[in-house]
């Protein structure tokens, strides 16, 4: 399923952090993201998840 205005609805004016826990080391994400959250002036967080079609019922 395509989301035609994905960038406009979710990314406009924001910094993007991408992770794939299926293929990457989760501990690396924890450490990197913790460092960013502890040192950056973050006002809000938006989480967008991707669900593969085979997981839908």
The string of pLDDT tens digits covering residues 1-49 is: 578 898 898 889 888 887 777 778 889 888 998 999 899 988 888 888 7
CA distances from 38 to 2, 18, 35, 54 (A): 34, 18, 5, 37
3 state SS of 28: helix
Please name which of 43, 46, 50 lies closest in space to residue 10, comparing C-alpha atoms.
46
Beta carbons of 42 and 6 less than 8 angstroms apart: no
Residue 54: which pLDDT band, with cuts at 50, 70 and 90?
low
Residue 57: which pLDDT band, with cuts at 50, 70 and 90?
low
Three-point CA angle 4, 37, 19, nearest 5°: 45
């Amino acid at each position: 399923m395509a989301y035609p205005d994905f960038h406009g609805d979710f990314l406009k004016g924001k910094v993007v952090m991408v992770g794939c826990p299926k293929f990457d080391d989760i501990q690396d994400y924890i450490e990197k993201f913790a460092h960013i959250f502890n040192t950056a002036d973050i006002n809000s967080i938006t989480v967008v998840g991707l669900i593969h079609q085979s997981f839908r019922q």
